[in-house]
Amino acid sequence: MLLEGEPKSKAELSRELGQKEISGQQSKVVRQLLADQLIEYTIPEKPSSRFQKYRLTGKGRATLAKPGSEGDMP
């Protein structure tokens, strides 16, 4: 979903995954992707901002560009 280029909030990601609300598992995955530097905050100086969104990093794009790697991301 983030590969499309538009940054997305956790709520937007959740809706696109067909969920009604943000799950604990989703939050856990987002934290891991941030730690692995595959995604980044759009407002890094305010990580808990209600306007916070996430976008792919160069590393995240490179990981997805590898053949057969799309299913490897958490």
Number of domains in the chain: 1
Q: Is residue 37 part of a domain?
A: yes
- As a whole number of Å, the end-to-end CA separation of the chain is 13
Whether residue 71 lies inside any domain: the answer is no
Helices (H), the chain: 10-16, 24-35, 58-65
Domain annotation covers residue 18:
yes
Q: Is residue 74 part of a domain?
A: no
Would you say residue 28 lies in a domain?
yes
Residue 3: CB partners within 8 Å, gap ≥ 6?
Answer: 56, 61, 64
Range of the structural domain that residue 61 is part of: 2-66
Bridge partners of residue 41, in order along the sequence: 54
pLDDT in tens, 18-45: 899 999 999 999 999 999 999 999 999 9
pTM for this prediction: 0.80
In a domain, 72, yes or no: no
